[in-house]
Amino acid sequence: MADSRRDSMKSNEDSITIEEIPVGIIPNWLIDHFVNQAIDPRPISKGGPPKILTIYANENSRRQHMSMLSDIGFAFDRTLHHTLESLKSSLMADLRIPRKISLGPSFDLVLHNFCSERASNLSFPLINPLPNMHWGEGKTIALSELHTFLSKESSTASWDGPGMHSFIEILRDIESKTGGTHPDFLTSKILEGIEFAGTPFTLLDIDGIIMLDHASPINKSDQKLLSAVSKIRPIHQLTYPGSYRLGFHGFQLVDDFPITDTEDLPKWIPRHEISNHKDAPTIDRVFVNREEQSFEASISIARGFLSEEPNSTVLIIDPSFEENQTKWNKIIHDLGLPISGLKKPITHSPLGHWLHELANIGNGANSFSMEKLRLLAVQESLSPFSPFHNEDDTGEISPRPNIELLSQIARSEHILGGPGALERWMEALCRPSKKDEKGPARESTQWWIIALASSILPLLEKTDRALLSNQRLLTGCHSGKLLEVPNSPSTGDEWLVRTVQQIDTDISVDYLDGNTIPISSIIKAITTEHESLRSLQSSVAQPPPQGGSEWVSELSSILKTASLPVPISGISSRLRVMAPKDALGCNSDIAILANTSAPSWNLRSPKIPFIGEMERHKFELLRPDVPITRARHHLYHILNCCSKVILIDPSLDKSTPLAPPLEEILDYCTPPVHFDPNSEENLGPRDIKQLDGILLRNMKNSSNPPLNPSAITIPLDVELQRDRERRQPSKADSEGYLP
């Protein structure tokens, strides 16, 4: 038994080989093999090239190299180019594992309801020790984050912390009811499938796998997956050389020496010279007075380089890219280059914001407050209710609010909002006005509030719903007639359908600029996510709320967490901005390191709920040196992935010293230069035009001619015409001639 185990371990080690390559590039022999593999479909047994599957470090690297192969001008098999995540998806399909459950707002709501129900049965005694104790969403999120992290580190089985076993039971229960696979369980199910089902289709006709350089370490679950795959098809790792301890060397699946002799290469690897030599990089150092100028300096340098070299590419590396993506997108868009879409919650759109406000106007501590009513009255994104009435003969009374009157009543009646506010509004407005001239405006405002409350009837509390059956409160304060109200929806779902159906989707089509999201797309995102929630609730036999605060809370969660559709240009940009970890495996002509201060580059270990110092040491989790070793590896690649590297250095400001990994590379830097934001060569097109206008206004020569020289005098046209009219003679002399 022991001998067979040793033989199995030995064969596994033999199926994983390691080769060190020059930093920052994919070797030419591998690119040549991609081409040969695409144009020659013969198997290796009949003289064709070996069929090799390649694993990239991230999706950006994979897309860049597939785009490069497409530009060469031939078709190639994209299923031979994977990241670890895309390989898992292919193996999942091969092994007929049930589809992945889509994680999003719908799943989060269903999961929270399950956890809340189990908490009332004391399934989480250490977190929720009382059956009637409130189970907040934060507890569900914390357990979900912990489970995801432990699953990646293959530590869920040995974890004895609070709540994990009950949480796993809930996820398994959801899986069985939906017939899907939770993403946290995907890797373990693939490992089970490989063990019992044999060779997956993706690996069936390939000769081997090349794994490009990855930063160390990768997740333990991914290590197990790659080890299992190596028993089916051999893996040849291409790693960067350098110190393992400091993080320069790439990740290795096995602790073995790299191959140094061509004769030792696996037979399925194309013959090539083995070398890991690369010249030391040279870095241009540019000082800025403060870190905020990093954006201007980076774009100024990139703009100049792109204009000089028509086919060049620029890579801007920002360690705090996630926080700065909106700003980068705006700057790049102003240059006329395509930008990557940014995920934003639905409430960041006007329609999503006002739909959220309308649904919540009758709930919470500020329900029917003056501020909420005023804002809802003046917005134009959606109508609270559809037309339902016939105006009177004079047209003076209709359901529209008078903002000034609302303010006066709120002050005089001291209506602040909250429970009972709707009743106080209706009581105050149903009283006749002392001044007849204000009667129509008062009744119009009264009618508007009644119509508003009637249109959102299923979303109101029980006491507020009862007010709309009181005929005294529904009688007009000026006309004395019973006011007509719109038909109320019976459920919250019906209200949502009615509300989105009455939105004019063509209202802003003329104003679309290619980046604005159409209203119809926003509506589709809302309805699709809501329908997904109802479908998931039906699958797990979870009754949905019909109305009231529970339904409003459900919709609010969807609007706050679901993402707007991301506009995709479909055009690859010559200027890309990304975080250091996303740049691993990518290359360009020039790389610019921006926002390089220590505060901008977060090198602290992430904080995972319920994992303290004791658990961290016991299970060997969250090693404090991992963030900085990975940062060194990413920086190691960036410095060698292009022909020129520029470091934007904000360390002149003592509050923004360079990040530690960057302090280590200053020996490679050339003598620094200072960035002058006021220099003409650093100005953008808009700034140059503005400067030319100022010069012309001051009667000085501009650097560029005006777009329309005649336009310079347009502001003076009126004065010039009046002056000409004053000078024009109006009386003829004695001979009939004008003087």
pLDDT confidence band for 507 (50 / 70 / 90):
low
Q: Which of 4-8, 60-64, 510-514, 712-716 has the lowest mean pLDDT?
A: 4-8
Which of 201-215, 627-641, 673-687 has the weakest average pLDDT?
A: 673-687
Convert the pLDDT of each residue in 373-393 to its tens digit: 999 999 988 888 887 766 554
The predicted pLDDT at position 481 comes to 87
- Angle (CA) 92 98 103, round 5°: 90
Classified as helix, coil or strand, 55 is strand
Q: Which residues contact 667 (CB under 8 A, 6 or more apart)?
A: none
Q: Is pLDDT at 698 greater than 70 in this prediction?
A: yes
pLDDT given at position 248: 95
pLDDT at 421: 93
CA distance 391 to 396: 8
pTM to 2 decimal places = 0.86
Q: Give the Cβ contact number of residue 713 at 10 Å.
A: 10
Alpha helix stretches (DSSP H) within 179-292: 183-197, 220-230
Q: Model confidence at 394, in pLDDT bands (50, 70, 90)?
A: low
Q: How many CB atoms lie within 10 A of CB 246?
A: 15
Domain 2-98+189-264 coded CATH 3.40.50: yes
- Give the tens place of pLDDT for each residue, 321-355: 999 999 998 888 888 787 777 788 999 999 999 99
Give the pLDDT of residue 683: 62
pLDDT digits (tens, 9 = 90+) for 621-674: 999 999 999 999 999 999 999 999 999 999 999 999 999 999 999 999 999 999
Specify the fold of 283-341+572-680. Answer: Rossmann fold (3.40.50)
Tell me the average pLDDT of the chain. 89
pLDDT score at 3: 44
Measured distance CA(385)–CA(484) in Å, rounded: 13
The span from the first CA to the last CA of the chain, in angstroms, equals 125
- pLDDT value of position 340: 73
pLDDT confidence of 9, banded at 50, 70, 90?
A: very low
Residue ranges, CATH 3.40.50.300, the chain = 283-341+572-680
Q: Is the pLDDT of residue 277 over 80?
A: yes
pLDDT confidence tier of residue 360, bands split at 50, 70 and 90: very high
Q: What is the pLDDT of residue 579?
A: 96
Q: Is the pLDDT of residue 302 over 60?
A: yes
Please tell me the least confidently modeled range out of 136-140, 530-534, 713-717: 713-717
Residue with the bigger pLDDT between 481 and 394: it is 481
pLDDT band, very low/low/confident/very high, at 515 (cuts 50, 70, 90): low
Give the least confident one: 96-100, 309-313, 524-528, 684-688. 684-688
pLDDT band per the 50, 70, 90 thresholds, residue 11: very low
Cα 327 from Cα 330, distance rounded (Å)? 5
The label of the residue with tokens 């990768």 reads: 218
pLDDT digits (tens, 9 = 90+) for 426-475: 999 988 877 666 788 898 999 999 999 999 999 999 999 999 999 899 88
The mean per-residue pLDDT over the stretch 147-156 comes to 95
Give the pLDDT score at 681. Answer: 59
In b/e form, how buried is each residue of 182-191, taking b as 16+ CB within 10 angstroms? bebbbbbbbb
Q: What is the DSSP string of 127-159?
A: T--STTS---HHHHHHHHHHHHHHHHTT-TTT-
